[in-house]
Amino acid sequence: TPTQVAESPAKDESKFIPRRPKRRTPAKKKAPRKPKWDAESIIKDPKSPLATANLRSILCNPMAWSCLDQADKAEILALFPDRDHILDAGTADARPDLASLMNDDSFRYDCAAYTENIAQGRHDPEWLASAWSAHERRKAGDFDEFLVERLEEDWGVEIPAGMRIVR
């Protein structure tokens, strides 16, 4: 009978060495993602999507009205300058006349001006504070002399003393 030779493992074969299990790092809890635009920043930030939106179409969408509660609806209707654009005025069913608003040039202009003001940063609190300060200074007459001098220089005439602003 042939002799049996014990085979030794080949050099390239290595014994299985158990590895230490890897430590799992605890899963990082993700903080709730803050929405990019909140109600306040969307009307103040010049990069707001509202700055380039077609505000007139948004406001004249029937869903824009139906999603409001009664208090909000009443507040908005109270801001209307007249009752021409309100259907069923004075009732619980009062609502804007969307067809009338879509064809109103003043509404079209005001929506465009509002989005332009957002794009220009004119709803920023600092800008508004500066604008109100300048308004009060103009009202107090701080710029009257400058304006008179500029008018006289630009037009080459002198304003008679009786026509000058007296405060």
Tens digit of pLDDT for each residue in 61-112? 999 999 999 999 999 999 998 888 999 998 989 999 999 999 999 999 999 9
The share of the chain scoring above pLDDT 70, in percent, equals: 92
Instruction: Tell me whether residue 118 is exposed, middle or buried, using C-beta atoms within 10 angstroms of its C-beta: 0 to 12, 13 to 18, 19 or more.
Output: buried
> Taking the model in full, what pTM does it have?
0.64
The pLDDT of 110-135, averaged and rounded, is 95
Q: Which residue has the higher pLDDT, 16 or 40?
A: 40
Lookup: tokens for 101: 């608003």
Domain assignments of the chain as residue spans, ordered by start: 43-123, 124-157
Region class of 41: left (phi > 0), else alpha (psi between -120 and 50), else beta: alpha
